[in-house]
Structure 1
Amino acid sequence: MNLSNLRPAKGSVRERKRVGRGQGSGMGGTSTRGHKGAQSRSGYSRKTHFEGGQMPLQRRVPKFGFKNINRVEYKPLNLDSIQALVDETNVTVVDMEFLLQHGLVSKKDLVKVLSRGELTTAIEVHAHAFSSSAKEAIEKAGGKAIVPAKHAKEEAAN
Structure 2
Amino acid sequence: MRLHELINSNGSNRPKRRLGKGEGNGHGKTCGRGHKGSKSRSGYSIQPGFEGGQMPMYRRLPHRGFSNFKFHKGYAIVNLGDLERLADDVKEVNREVLVKAGLVRDNSLPLKVLGNGEIKSALKVSAAAFSASAKSKIEAAGGEALTD
More helix by share: 1
Q: State the identity as a percent.
A: 35
- State the number of aligned residues: 103
Q: CA deviation at 1:135?
A: 0.2
Q: Which amino acid aligns with 2:142?
A: G
Q: CA deviation at 1:128?
A: 0.6
Counterpart-to-counterpart distance in 1, 2:128 and 2:53: 53
1:97/1:63 CA distance change after superposition, 3 Å: same
Unaligned runs of at least 5 residues, structure 2 = 1-21, 23-28, 30-35, 38-48
TM-score for both structures, normalised by structure 1: 0.53
Q: Which amino acid aligns with 1:137?
A: K
1:49/1:67 CA distance change after superposition, 3 Å: farther
Deviations 1:71-123 (A, max 9, x none): 21011110001101224x2x110011111111222242211100000000001
Q: Which amino acid aligns with 1:100?
A: V
Counterpart-to-counterpart distance in 1, 2:84 and 2:67: 38
Bigger Rg over Cα: 1
Counterpart-to-counterpart distance in 1, 2:109 and 2:53: 47
Q: CA deviation at 1:147?
A: 0.5
Counterpart-to-counterpart distance in 1, 2:71 and 2:120: 36
Unaligned runs of at least 5 residues, structure 1 = 1-10, 15-31, 34-47, 149-158
TM-score for both structures, normalised by structure 2: 0.56
Aligned residue in 1 for 2:91: 92
Counterpart-to-counterpart distance in 2, 1:63 and 1:69: 16
Aligned residue in 2 for 1:43: none
